[in-house]
Amino acid sequence: MGQTIGQIRDNTTRARHLYQRSKQQHFAVGAFNVDNQETMIAIALAAQKLNSPVLIEVSDGEVKAIGLHNIRDMVDNYKQEYGIEVYLNLDHSPSVDACKRAIDAGYEFIHIDISQADHNASEEEIIAKTKEVVEYAKFTGALIESEPHYFGGSSNVHNEDIDYEEIKKTFSTPEGARSFTEATGIDTLAVAIGNLHGKYPVPKELDLELLERIREVIGCGISLHGGSGTPLHYFEDAARIGVSKININSDMRYVFRKTLEKVLADNPDEYAVVKLMPEVYGAVQAVVEEKIKAFGSADKAIV
């Protein structure tokens, strides 16, 4: 069931107010990926319990698996059922057309990521296509996020250590951040300061001094991708400095699978899958609650 343009604009206005609150009150909003209904339930339960605003986000692959409009309807249903402040984010969308479809469907947050489809895309191409999405989004008021180059890693569990000397070559710079945000007019810049997609055998290390210098020279929102596997104190500091959005995926996927494996092993004769899932989404809920507390967004929801 689709939304009217009035409803969509009301939701995006609320989303913009949330971003303003996050900057003024120094908390970050968790953006949590879903690829199944159980994960969505876990996020909704955590948001309800801690009275926290949340973003539910889906990548291009997750959209194809569940359906662009199906996800919109599911989020709206859980928003009403649980009485939570929740928004929908299209994550790492590789094309302008996909972003436009999500804007039309009422997604409040849109991440255009041209380098996702082409790691060698030029900054000129990325700027041009980002500007096209920014312009298109003015009709609904959706908030647009982007970055000037490819962001490494993948939302999975990795066995290799992190090569920070290599990763540092892709770090954001204050000059580059200011230039890109001014050229595109985006609402959110996805920065690279040591954050990396995926879960690794060693903790991630964030360059908070670099984050502070970036925060000083740009006025738009800042997001951290690749939050999984990051010591929680980095999140607390990042929110204090002025990060408004932190993405989490692999930590949830990991505990989902490990708990599901345990539940299946403990219940070899149970074939009603629905009876097995509460323990699974309970484990995922615990991960989401841990992040919400570190982000400082508990008791920040306005329903």
What positions carry a catalytic annotation?
A: 91
Which residues 6+ apart lie within 8 Å of 20 measured at CB?
Answer: none
Which residues 6+ apart lie within 8 Å of 103 measured at CB?
Answer: 110, 133, 136, 137, 139, 140, 142
| Distance, CA of 208 to CA of 210 (rounded, Å) | 5
Which residues 6+ apart lie within 8 Å of 17 measured at CB?
Answer: 302
Sign of CA dihedral 152, 180, 146, 214: positive
Residues 197 and 158: beta-carbon distance below 8 Å: no
Instruction: Give the CA count within 13 Å in the CB-facing half-sphere of 199.
Output: 12
First to last CA, the chain: 21
- For strands 245-248 and 29-33, give the pairing: parallel
Residue 241 — φ and ψ, nearest 5°?
A: -70, -35
Residue with tokens 């090569």: 163
| Distance, CA of 137 to CA of 95 (rounded, Å) | 14
For residue 12, the tally of other CB atoms under 10 A from its CB is: 21
Instruction: Give the CA count within 13 Å in the CB-facing half-sphere of 142.
Output: 29
